[in-house]
Amino acid sequence: MLPTYQVAPLLRSGELIELLPEFSLDELGIHAVYASRRQQPAIMRRFLDFLGECFASPAFQDLDWRPPGKENT
């Protein structure tokens, strides 16, 4: 199984087809887990900001394609 953002262009073009869509997984969020501290190290804040920027990019948010039956979820 591959993430939708990696295969959405190929699905739209028809180069790939989805097999067994009834067994598709629900979308999951991405979480960063770290120790709670009163003063967070600057490098930790920069890393979390970096992750936020990466996963907010259009490459990870292909909104034009959803598996059949999940168009409005």
Residue pLDDT, tens place only, 21-40? 888 777 777 788 888 878 88
For the chain, the average pLDDT equals: 78
Q: What does the pLDDT average to over 36-63?
A: 80
Distance CA 16, CA 10 (A): 5
Distance CA 3, CA 55 (A): 13
Of 61, 51, 72, nearest in space to 8 by CA:
61
Task: List all residues 6 or more positions away from 47 whose beta carbon is below 8 Å from its beta carbon.
Answer: none
At residue 7, φ and ψ (nearest 5 deg) are -115, -5
**Where are the extended beta strands (E) located within the chain?**
none
